[in-house]
Amino acid sequence: MYEELHRLNVAMVVVDPAGGPTPTAPTIGTTNWAGGLAAMDHLISLGHRRIGVIAGPRTLIGSRARLDGYRAGIEAGGLAFEDELVYEGDFYHESGFAGANAFLALHDPPTAIAAASDMGRWPPAPFSG
């Protein structure tokens, strides 16, 4: 697709590419790492000391950055990073539900769960308000 748009001289910018930057188009990344860090800062400020995260696929650079921000926030808050509090999802609500159930089944479940995304379905359902 990128090659075809380039061939047609269509100007484009890719926002937060899923697999990383593409060599044929400029990209703009989002603040994935900072978002993970800010979420942990907030939850820790509320008194949570055992925080689970439902991460996205580790094959995606944005998912890894969010998870790295989570880990940095946990450690900056003086908490220990625990593998059992990381559930790899796929950004859809089904994996979020499965991750929450896995956390709740732990002997010592987390008091808070952060989700890397809340994309229920695409395209979203029309607003019927």
DSSP label of 83: G
69 and 83 co-located in one domain: yes
**Interhelix angle for 61-76 vs 32-45, to 10°?**
30
Report the chain's mean pLDDT, rounded to a whole number: 85
Q: How do strand 27-28 and strand 86-88 relate by DSSP bridges?
A: unpaired
CATH of the domain at 106: 3.40.50.2300
Q: Is 15 helix (H, G, I), strand (E, B) or coil?
A: strand
**Domain count within the chain:** 2
Mean per-residue pLDDT, 27-38 = 86
106 and 48 co-located in one domain: yes
Distances (CA, A) of 29 to 17, 54, 73, 112, 120: 7, 21, 20, 27, 22
Instruction: Let me know if residue 87 belongs to a domain.
Output: yes
pLDDT at 80 over 90: yes
Range with the lowest mean pLDDT among 23-27, 84-88, 104-108?
Answer: 23-27
pLDDT at 22 over 80: no
Instruction: Let me know if residue 18 belongs to a domain.
Output: yes
pTM beyond 0.85: no
